[in-house]
Structure 1
Amino acid sequence: MTEANKADPWRNISNVVVVGLGITGLSVVNFLSSRSNELDIKVIDTRAEPPGREQLSSSVELYSGGWNLDWLLNADLIVLSPGIALATPEIQQALKNGCKVIGDIELFAWHVDKPVIAITGSNGKSTVTDLTGVIAKACGVNVGVGGNIGVPALDLLQNDHDLYVLELSSFQLETTSSLHTAASAFLNLSEDHMDRYDSMEDYRQAKLRIFDNANCCVVNTCDAATYPSKELGLELVEFGLHSSAQYGVVVDQDKEYLAVNGVPLVSIEELSLVGRHNVANALVCLALLEQVGVDYRQGFDALKSYNGLTHRCQVVADKKGIKWINDSKATNVASTAAALAGLNCKGTLYLLVGGEGKGADFSELGEHLSAINVKLCCFGKDGNQFLPLHSSAELFDTIGDVIEALTPSLRRNDMVMLSPACASFDQFKNFMARGEAFTELAQRYA
């Protein structure tokens, strides 16, 4: 967007209501406050004690514990946090009243003036986002990484980066319409957030918005759901775990390699990342970086040494021949299935599953569990829904109860893995807190 175009969205806007505080809401308030002294900024949060309220400037009025419809109906612009659906009745009233409703990514789009890479998908998007940034940095690029992972997108604009790499959730994409990207990737689609969407197709369409205004669309040859409509005539780049994909896997002298256009580049056995899903993730990173002109070959050492994100298949203890793995970020069935597919466990796998199920169907995991030597340890609000999946399944109240019960049975070559296939909100603030609790227990009992 040109500077002239970027000024257009702010015409006739003086009253802004930020809905939802927390990390994202605070970043929006701080960004708006730094942009103009003339904006009247208010915040609504339906929680009685919203996180971040102590960091909110005293000049910004806060309404908490419910909705203030008068504020909404008199706003010129509403900036909605991702956790609040557009379908919320109070937001729908504001829309019918003619108010413009956007999210923080749309606000970012109005102001960014450097190339943007955007990544979405049901699983793997955090790893791809982080690894893309790591490789770009190793290649000498001044890169800003954030969005739905780590740093809020608007906070990234405080620094003059040459490239932005953003993880975007379906929730964020719902309120984004003018983000121009040099390249966007849709990694995969699997059942998630069925408590928010009416159907899988509604969920998919929200994800597909990442290709609106994209110069290049990176899609998964193994998942047809990631492809935009052919009628749109968009430029596609394909990745997949086979030799025919532009970014694929080839075999040379009995070794598998990451390959581009059939040319072997990096031996898969040299990667620190574990699992076939992470091979695919690495391929996406190469595809995205090539689209923005980064010579990713300079970052191969960084690619090889990268061992993943905290809370994503992270080994947090390895003592007496027993590995403890924190995969708390596996908040849906497909993510847990991918983790299981990448494991090499010579003993018994003690798998911790459960939490807030979000209306998901867990039956798919049964097939994966039947193929391995597993003891299924179920916990949390929806832990009972996993009991029919395996004959070894046992129900506990908490992760702590699980660890205390299983520890005396552990033997060399066993593995204890938290990969819950559920959200954490029944017992924890977020998946990070859940992962940290597991890590603390693992290091204590190991």
Structure 2
Amino acid sequence: MPAASQHSLTEFRHIVVMGLGVTGLSVVRFIARHHAKACIRVMDSRMQPPGQDQLPDNVELHTGSWQAQWLADADLVVTNPGISLQTPALAPVHAAGTPIVGDIELFAWYCDKPVVAITGSNGKSTVTALVGEMAKASGIDVGVGGNIGVAALDLLDRGHELYVLELSSFQLETTDSLVLDGAAFLNFSEDHMDRYDSLADYRAAKCRIFTHATTLIANADDPQTHDDLQTNTASSMRLFGFHQGDYCLITDQGEAWLAAHGQPLLPVSSLGLVGRHNVANGLAAMALADSVGISQQGQKAALSTYAGLPHRCQKVAKHQGVLWVNDSKATNVASTLAALDGLDIEGRLHLLLGGDGKGADFSLLQPGLATLDVSLYCFGKDKTQLAALDNTAQCVETLHQAVDAAAYQACAGDMVLLSPACSSLDQFTHFAARGDAFIAEVESMIARQT
């Protein structure tokens, strides 16, 4: 593994943490643990930020705005991933040359064990969790987190032998020193256009994952993940894809297999995950596992048993012949297209779309919808734009109303799929809350009908 960063928190005396919540609290705890003499101040633009009741008594908190004087006095600023580096309050900090980092950069300063990391527009949570399961099946003490589950800094100091991190483009913007044994860029599609000036800027943030990586893992079927990359001469590229790449599908004895370097590992029919997109996720996970020496036995065990994360094509119930599926994690168009690809439905698809599309082009959904017998139920902020996809679409205000409308129309053999193609923040605190609400609505509907 390449040498770890030589930076240390002890270089700094006055540290400002911008943004509280789960990540901000993990940063405060970590700084307090590793630099007891630091003066830590926390600010949050929200009046009542989550986690404020968990702050130590000796940590000052400012809420409702950004405190300019605190920023001027700081010699290190640690920002929450949700805060853009273009935030006007940070302009004087940039001008003064004060370092601005995120929690993943702090992780890089202190991590001394192998790390693999995953980014991409879609599928990164599934691949992250799957690699973690592969490591566990191989007897490796692994820490899994980052943009999924446990904050990265909370994974340190626990005796883990390996770390598997999901990293968003927001986290990568403030990360410069992270050394990775394996780095995967799964796919690239339009998202977060409310944060970035262009798709090129969004892609550039994603590509930062390769900066100090030994093995670069990219999608042979998506040139945006590997074209025009300036790589370290010590690095090697590994590609995964359905029909080409170091990790791809091959046919053996008339059956499709997941294979590494031409050697079959597991038949697709034995994969625990459902859907064509999860075949690609499995191939990417194999490449990452090989980059840190996870055994093929462990890879096979996890690939055949891991059934996926909640809110990602999660089967909720089958009632009166209708299958209800929760894919609330589909917060952009590409995620919904992935869910639609290769669906095998006896009857009609009832698709629930809605939320805040963040400026996305919903017309990109039309090719995926054109191949299906589908009814659309559109809700939330961008319901009108989504309903324009089909002149028979039903337009409602809330997810509750969309579920009711779909339940009224669905018949035995049909599927009702929540795959919104939008963020949830217009009506819910996050995609998981939206998914939980969907599950509750389905369970309530079943209870009323039985």
Task: Tell me the TM-score normalised to structure 2 length.
Answer: 0.96
Look up the match of 1:284: 284
1:231–1:308 CA distance, 2 compared to 1 (3 A): closer
Look up the match of 2:238: 237
Q: Percent identity, please.
A: 51
Q: Report if aligned partners of 1:218, 1:284 keep a CA contact under 8 Å in 2.
A: yes
Q: CA deviation at 1:444?
A: 1.8
1:181–1:251 CA distance, 2 compared to 1 (3 A): same
Look up the match of 2:372: 372
Letter in 1 for 2:402: V
Which secondary structure does the structure 1 equivalent of 2:218 belong to?
Answer: strand
Which secondary structure does the structure 1 equivalent of 2:325 belong to?
Answer: strand
Letter in 1 for 2:185: F
Deviation string for 1:356-415 (max 9, x for gaps)? Answer: 111111101011111101110000011111112123211110010111222222211111
Look up the match of 2:204: 205
Letter in 2 for 1:238: L
Letter in 2 for 1:423: S
Query: How many angstroms apart in 1 are the aligned matches of 2:348 and 2:9?
Result: 59
Q: CA deviation at 1:271?
A: 1.2
1:202–1:50 CA distance, 2 compared to 1 (3 A): same
Letter in 2 for 1:355: G
Structure 1 unaligned regions, length at least 5: none
Deviation string for 1:95-138 (max 9, x for gaps)? Answer: 11121100000000000000000100000000000000011101
After superposition, residues 339-358 of structure 1 pair within 5 angstroms as: 339-358=339-358
Q: Size of the alignment, in residue pairs?
A: 443
Query: How many angstroms apart in 1 are the aligned matches of 2:104 and 2:166?
Result: 10
Q: CA deviation at 1:144?
A: 0.3
Look up the match of 2:152: 153
Look up the match of 2:393: 393
Query: How many angstroms apart in 1 are the aligned matches of 2:421 and 2:211?
Result: 30
1:156–1:12 CA distance, 2 compared to 1 (3 A): closer
Which secondary structure does the structure 1 equivalent of 2:160 belong to?
Answer: coil
Look up the match of 2:20: 21
Look up the match of 1:254: 254
Query: How many angstroms apart in 2 are the aligned matches of 1:36 and 1:298?
Result: 38
Q: CA deviation at 1:319?
A: 2.1
Q: CA deviation at 1:268?
A: 0.3
Look up the match of 1:196: 195
Deviation string for 1:250-294 (max 9, x for gaps)? Answer: 112221100111222211011121111100100011101111111
Look up the match of 2:268: 268
Look up the match of 1:100: 99
Letter in 2 for 1:296: Q
Letter in 2 for 1:18: V
Letter in 2 for 1:200: L
Which secondary structure does the structure 1 equivalent of 2:363 belong to?
Answer: coil
Query: How many angstroms apart in 2 are the aligned matches of 1:168 and 1:215?
Result: 17
Which secondary structure does the structure 2 equivalent of 1:209 belong to?
Answer: helix
Letter in 2 for 1:235: S
Letter in 1 for 2:399: I
Q: Report if aligned partners of 2:218, 2:226 keep a CA contact under 8 Å in 1.
A: yes
Residue 403 of structure 2 corresponds to residue 403 of structure 1: yes
Letter in 2 for 1:316: V
Query: How many angstroms apart in 2 are the aligned matches of 1:284 and 1:402?
Result: 35
Q: Report if aligned partners of 1:147, 1:168 keep a CA contact under 8 Å in 2.
A: yes
Q: Report if aligned partners of 2:134, 2:294 keep a CA contact under 8 Å in 1.
A: no
Q: CA deviation at 1:11?
A: 5.4
Look up the match of 2:413: 413
Look up the match of 2:436: 436
Letter in 2 for 1:280: A
Deviation string for 1:129-150 (max 9, x for gaps)? Answer: 0000011101111100000000
Query: How many angstroms apart in 2 are the aligned matches of 1:347 and 1:52?
Result: 46
Q: CA deviation at 1:300?
A: 1.4
Which secondary structure does the structure 1 equivalent of 2:375 belong to?
Answer: strand
Q: Report if aligned partners of 1:136, 1:296 keep a CA contact under 8 Å in 2.
A: no
1:267–1:2 CA distance, 2 compared to 1 (3 A): closer
- The answer to which of 386-395 and 73-82 deviates more is 386-395
Look up the match of 1:66: 65
After superposition, residues 320-331 of structure 1 pair within 5 angstroms as: 320-331=320-331
Q: Report if aligned partners of 1:328, 1:431 keep a CA contact under 8 Å in 2.
A: yes
Q: CA deviation at 1:209?
A: 0.2
Look up the match of 1:48: 47
Which secondary structure does the structure 2 equivalent of 1:397 belong to?
Answer: coil
Query: How many angstroms apart in 1 are the aligned matches of 2:157 and 2:11?
Result: 25
Query: How many angstroms apart in 2 are the aligned matches of 1:207 and 1:406?
Result: 37
Which secondary structure does the structure 2 equivalent of 1:216 belong to?
Answer: strand
Letter in 2 for 1:97: A
Look up the match of 2:38: 39
Q: CA deviation at 1:9?
A: 4.0
Deviation string for 1:313-370 (max 9, x for gaps)? Answer: 0001122221111100000000000000042111111111110111111101011111
1:305–1:432 CA distance, 2 compared to 1 (3 A): same
Which secondary structure does the structure 2 equivalent of 1:182 belong to?
Answer: strand
Structure 2 unaligned regions, length at least 5: none
Q: Report if aligned partners of 2:143, 2:155 keep a CA contact under 8 Å in 1.
A: yes
Q: CA deviation at 1:297?
A: 2.3
Q: Report if aligned partners of 1:274, 1:342 keep a CA contact under 8 Å in 2.
A: no
Letter in 1 for 2:375: K
Query: How many angstroms apart in 1 are the aligned matches of 2:116 and 2:108?
Result: 12
Query: How many angstroms apart in 2 are the aligned matches of 1:342 and 1:136?
Result: 29
Query: How many angstroms apart in 1 are the aligned matches of 2:86 and 2:229?
Result: 29
Look up the match of 1:338: 338
Which secondary structure does the structure 1 equivalent of 2:217 belong to?
Answer: strand
Q: CA deviation at 1:57?
A: 1.5
- The answer to which of 180-189 and 246-255 deviates more is 246-255
Query: How many angstroms apart in 2 are the aligned matches of 1:353 and 1:134?
Result: 31
Q: Report if aligned partners of 2:351, 2:374 keep a CA contact under 8 Å in 1.
A: yes
Q: Report if aligned partners of 1:12, 1:76 keep a CA contact under 8 Å in 2.
A: no
